Structure 1
Amino acid sequence: MKLSLYSTWGCHLCEQAEQLLLQAGLAGAVEIIDIVDEPAAFERYRVHIPVLKVNEQELFWPFDLEQIQQLLRQQSSGL
């Protein structure tokens, strides 16, 4: 399962999202991608960050711990 958090430096909402990922026990499993470093990600997510992407499924902010866990369950069961 590929987990990515699209974020940028200085984004307080992104920091909140990172804390939720820590609470979910995903600290080392998530790749943090700064949209400033990737032009395609910047174009797609610039007004939507933070965005959690699990495989090809995107979860746009605002999201909570339960939504993260639900998305993970769906992806692990192949839905």
Structure 2
Amino acid sequence: MYVNLYTRTVCPLCEKAKDQLLKLAQQFPLVINEIDIYQNDRLLEKYHLMIPVVEIDGKEIDYGMIDVETIRRYLLERDDEFVEH
């Protein structure tokens, strides 16, 4: 399962979101891709006020103050596509 984490430098919420995703990666087969929105004008315009943003397989799952349970529920709903390990 591919996870994009849209972030920026010096972002405490982004660091917290990354830590939460790394914990989830111990339970689910996640590949986390951290993307700095300041490296792409389109992403900066789209996500500037939303970061961090967690996107899984092209779907925005949560943003801002990330709720790990929201992400966990999304992953569990997709359990037919992968097995928790």
Question: Per-residue deviation at 1:66?
Answer: 1.1
Query: CA 1:16–1:44 in 2, change beyond 3 Å: closer, same or farther?
Result: same
Equivalent of 2:69, from 58, 66, 70?
66
Tell me the distance in 1 between the aligned counterparts of 2:76 and 2:59: 12
Identity of aligned residues (%): 30
Question: RMSD of the alignment, in Å?
Answer: 1.9
2:50 alignment partner, SS class? coil
Residue type matched to 2:18 in 1?
Answer: E
Structure 1 gaps, min length 5: none
Asked if structure 1 preserves the Cα contact closer than 8 Å seen for 2:8 and 2:36, the reply is yes
1:77: Cα distance to partner? Answer: 4.2
Measure the CA separation in 2 of the matches of 1:6 and 1:60: 9
- The 1-side partners of 2:42 and 2:77 are apart by 26
Task: Specify the SS of the correspondent of 2:71.
Answer: helix
Separation of aligned partners in 2, 1:61 and 1:15: 12
Determine which structure has the larger helix proportion and give its number. Answer: 1
| Alignment map for 1:1-79 (pairs within 5 Å) | 1-25=1-25, 29-58=31-60, 59-77=62-80
Which has the higher Rg, Structure 1 or Structure 2?
2
Do the aligned partners of 1:54 and 1:72 also contact (CA within 8 Å) in 2? no
What is the TM-score with the length of structure 1 in the denominator?
0.83
